[in-house]
Chains A and B, each alone.
Chain A
Amino acid sequence: MNDLTYLKRLFQAYYQEEHKNFPVISSFNLREFGVIPWEKKVFMKRHMRFENPKLLRGYLIQDPPRHLYSSGSLYLEPDAREMESKNYQGCDLIVDIDVDHFYTPCKEKHDLWYCKECGAEGTGMPEKCPECKKSKFTKLNWVCNDCLDVAKNEIKKLVNNFLIPDFGISEEDMRIAFSGHRGYHLKVESEELRKLNTDERREIVDYLTGNNISFELLGLTERSKEIFGLIKENRGWSQKIMNKIEKILEKPKEQIETLLLDKHLFGFNSNVVNSFLNYKDDFLELITKGKRNIWAIEGFGLTMWKRFLKGIVKQVGVELDEPVSIDIHRLIRYPGSLHGKTGFKTQEISLSELEDFKPLDEKNEKLDPIVFKSKKNLTHKLEVVAEALPITKIKGVEYGLIKKERKSKSLIT
């Protein structure tokens, strides 16, 4: 039996065992389904339809796919081959938060890259190879508790700072799921949001991320060589930004320094940072008293303040995968299905369960996305086919670091 057949059978066993508890999404028979099969040469098969959940369960047992997806959209004819013929009825608002798309410090430990051009290698998330400046990489991305926590915090931020207070979306309309790999999905199922077109969805995405905010429209202006800044009283993004600035200014100097030097956020040089730190107490007092808004820090002109505010917006906004929320024809992982890269389950969780949810070490059996566990304490012999296995911790057990000679295979137990 080859590896893929073995894995396919494992998935089959899972779907067989779980078929009675398998989740059913809303408007089931109006959704388009898609699968990625185990056969290596076959890409995604789309335009599938299941009249009822029983037929889907039967399919999963019969021919379990590597990945299973369903559409955020509703169609009268979801199985039509052409998008124009599907008779589109509307689309849920979907937010995908995936650490693949943004920087987390833990990537320096567990995300490996090899430059295809010059053979250089390293860790982290470079845009270009530091050696040859080209951007063709082979990547080996991993997952850890830290980056999954970052993703979880983004979801919490999305719900508690934006969807509920600003958009007035009720908790009952939200479906949250751990993707089974490096992130979370959130789906808003509401009749009126389903009618939004892509332009309108883009506006929502911009609001959630803070993209293209106009600081001038929020109040930043220069008059007679004085800079007039944002005001905490002003509702909307102004208030969010000012609250964040206040929180940062309340931190110890060392922490502020680290933040301002961080090239992924502000990227200021040490002179600028020192100047900022010298004035930080005055700045905090000015903000908290709120009677005046003259922002005066040595070396900070309009351009520098904008750069500072951009860094703040980056922290306030949600790190989401924009095309997923804008595109109305996207498919997302079906809840309860298994992720073909990890074997973890796409696990639905309620907002109240989210706080304590730990995908790699979940104690609540019902929420545990790790479905393949040894019932007895056995030792398995595994072959690592990848070139490296970074340090990782699953169910409290640490694995790695294993690094092989490139292009060779090794056996570990």
Chain B
Amino acid sequence: MSIPNELINRHPWLPSLKTFYSNFWEKSYEEFIAEIFSKDISNEIAERVLIIFESAFNNLEDIPNKKFDYLNIYVYILLKILLYALNNKTITNRIANLYSKNAYNDLERENSESNLYDICQDLGLRINYYNPPIDYGIKIVKDYREKLKTNFTIHFIDYLRLASNLRDEYRKLTNNPLEDGYVFIQNKTLIRLIQEYVRNKLLIEETEDKASLNAFLQEASRIQRFKDMFDKIESLWDKRKEEFKFSFKIDINSKEEIQTLYPPCVVEILKKAEEGQNLVHHERLFIVWFLLALEYPVENVVDIFSTLPDFDRGKTTYQVEYAKKKNYTPYQCSTLKSLGLCMANKYKDKLCLEGYGSIEPTERKKLKHPLAYVRIKQYRNEKEKFKKNKAKQVLEGSKRQDE
């Protein structure tokens, strides 16, 4: 299917970019940079790229003064090269969050069903388009009545592929109408799924191949204008990075680092926060309730969110304090599983997977709550310490006897 050129300029993350601008893909990163910075347009491109980084570091939710000409494509590719060159997970996450959020805003502002349809087709999503929109229900509250209509249905496999990581309650398949393999989806929700696609496209893993990276940086640094831009981004980051860091060492009564006692579901969320990845609503609630249940000070809980793209200390403090007052119980394991937040398999955690209480597999009890994980780990650690002390005492006793 052919997609209008103009649409690729607006949304350079579309797969058709490769077909339209196949000459880009034949070039190495170095060649691409050399080509850009030999042209008159280089200043304009560098400026636009810097605006994106500045916006991301300043917690903005949209990219100001964005233009949709063909330079947008260069900006997108250069952005990806810079993320590779910077090799910093936190920066990558912030850029991916901002750029994808911006894609969402662009698509929403466009408000064009035909564009949305073309984009879905280009992304290989199986969708049905209805014009006029079809009814799939009604909302009635008191005197308010609203017919639920949509232009789109999307195949459930494509829906799951894009939505299953989002973990918001309203995106769960169960809470959406599904018929004959297709989910009835509002335009806005469809755009939100596309946002997730864009975010994933920018999430480049940190490279372990430092030699190739250094060789690239060395080569690219020869191009003065690229070097200037790269240095400027690094200096911008240096000024802001302290704000995005949080310390997570805290002792609890026994002076034992609680971190070693955390279940994998908690470790995963903390890891994501540390890397500046966005946390979905349920992840935020769970981590707050969990840490408050362990009597963490409010200030330390708030600090965890300081790395997130939409952090606002005042608001977060108010919310954490409110949660503390309400004394909410953190989600139990079954809820975490359903929300896709259980990480037992990912971390191959023995306690979560095999249970506790007996050596005999058939007699083991299943872990039902992440707080129980902490208690059991604490108990086991204590037991281990006790055993070690006892063994030490026996050893010392026998030594004394020998003497």
With A135-B365, A167-B156, A198-B345 known to touch, is A228 a contact of B141 (CB < 8 Å)?
yes
Within the complex, which residue of A233, A234, A237, A293 is in contact with B174, where a contact is CB–CB below 8 Å? A237
B340 proximity list for chain A (CB < 8 A): 199, 202-203
B177 partner, pick from A223, A224, A236, beta carbons under 8 A: A236
Pick the most buried of B139, B164, B175, B178: most chain A CB atoms within 10 A of its CB: B175
Q: Is there a chain B Cβ closer than 8 Å to A238's Cβ?
A: yes
- The 0/1 profile, CB within 8 Å of B marked 1, for residues 218-249 of chain A is 11010110101001011111100000000000
B199 to chain A, nearest CB (A): 16
User: Given the interface contacts A219-B139, A235-B184, does A203 sit within 8 Å of B179 by beta carbon?
Assistant: no
Residues 142-180 (chain B) with a chain A CB within 8 angstroms: 142, 148, 156-157, 160-161, 163-165, 169-170, 172-180
Q: B242 an interface residue at 8 Å Cβ cutoff?
A: no
Partner of A234, one of B138, B180, B337, B338: B138
> CA A200 – CA B363 in complex, angstroms?
31
Please determine whether B164 and A200 come into contact, CB atoms closer than 8 angstroms: yes
Residues in chain B within 8 A of chain A (CB atoms):
136-142, 148, 156-157, 160-161, 163-165, 169-170, 172-182, 184, 334-335, 337-340, 345, 363, 365
Query: Are A213 and B178 closer than 8 Å at their CB atoms?
Result: no
Q: Which A residues are CB-close (under 8 A) to B160?
A: 196, 200, 203-204
A166 contacts B179, C-beta separation under 8 Å: yes
B174 touches A235 (CB 8 A): no
User: Which of these, B137, B163, B181, contacts A238 with CB under 8 Å?
Assistant: B137
| Interface contact A206-B338, CB-CB below 8 Å | yes
Offer 23 A-B interface pairs, CB within 8 angstroms, sorted by A: A166-B181, A168-B179, A168-B181, A196-B160, A197-B164, A198-B345, A199-B165, A199-B340, A200-B157, A200-B160, A202-B164, A203-B172, A203-B174, A206-B173, A212-B172, A212-B338, A212-B339, A218-B175, A228-B140, A234-B138, A236-B136, A236-B178, A236-B184
Is A165 interfacial (CB-CB < 8 Å)?
yes
Complex Cα distance A97/B339, Å? Answer: 23
Partner of A235, one of B141, B173, B177, B363: B177
Query: Which residues of chain B come closer than 8 Å to A204, judged between CB atoms?
Result: 160, 173
Residues of B within 8 A of A233 (CB): 137-138
Contact status A206-B345, CB under 8 Å: no
Q: Contact partner of B142 among A192, A206, A218, A226, CB < 8 A?
A: A226
Binding site for B on A (CB under 8 A): 135-136, 165-169, 192-193, 195-200, 202-204, 206-207, 210-214, 217-219, 221, 223-224, 226, 228, 231, 233-238, 292-293
Whether B174 pairs with A211 at a CB distance below 8 angstroms is yes
A217–B177 Cα distance when bound, in Å, is 11
Report if A193-B157 is in contact (Cβ < 8 Å); known contacts: A166-B178, A167-B181. yes
- Bound Cα distance from A192 to B179, whole angstroms: 18
Which residues does chain B contribute within 8 Å of A211, judged by CB atoms? 174, 334, 338
**Could you tell me the distance between the alpha carbons of A218 and B172 in the complex, rounded to whole angstroms?**
12
Chain B residues near A226 (CB-CB < 8 A): 142
Cross-interface CB contact of B164 among A199, A212, A237, cutoff 8 Å: A199
**What 6 pairs across the A-B complex have the smallest Cβ distances?**
A168-B181, A234-B137, A236-B177, A235-B177, A212-B338, A200-B160
Across the A-B interface, how many residue pairs have beta carbons closer than 8 Å? Answer: 112
Which A residues are in CB contact (< 8 Å) with B137? Answer: 231, 233-236, 238
Q: Which A residues are CB-close (under 8 A) to B182?
A: 168
In the bound complex, CA of A236 to CA of B172 (Å): 12
Question: Do B180 and A213 have beta carbons less than 8 Å apart?
Answer: no
Q: List the A residue with the shortest CB-CB distance to B139.
A: A219
Q: How far is the CA of A192 from the CA of B337 in the complex (A)?
A: 24
Question: Please, which residues of chain B bring their CB within 8 A of the CB of A292?
Answer: 140
A198→B175 CA distance, assembly (Å): 19
Check A213–B142 contact: CB distance below 8 A.
no
The answer to whether residues A202 and B338 also contact, given A166-B179, A223-B141, A292-B140 and a CB cut-off of 8 A, is yes
Q: Which residues of A contact B175 (CB under 8 A)?
A: 213-214, 217-218, 236-237
Interchain CA distance A192-B126 in the complex, whole Å: 12
Query: How far is it, in angstroms, between the C-alpha of A95 and the C-alpha of B379 when the chains are bound?
Result: 38
Q: What is the CA–CA distance of A95 and B137 in the complex, to the nearest angstrom? A: 30
The smallest beta-carbon distance between B147 and chain A, in angstroms, is 9
- Report how far A255 CA is from B120 CA in the complex, Å: 50
Q: How far is A192 from B176 in the complex, measured between Cα atoms in Å?
A: 21
Q: Which residues of A contact B184 (CB under 8 A)?
A: 235-236
Closest chain B CB from A133 CB (angstroms): 13
Q: Which residues of chain B come closer than 8 Å to A293, judged between CB atoms?
A: 140
Residue of A nearest to B346 (CB): A198
**When the two chains form their complex, are residues B157 and A206 in contact, meaning their CB atoms are under 8 A apart?**
no
State how many angstroms separate the Cβ of B139 from the closest Cβ of chain A. 7
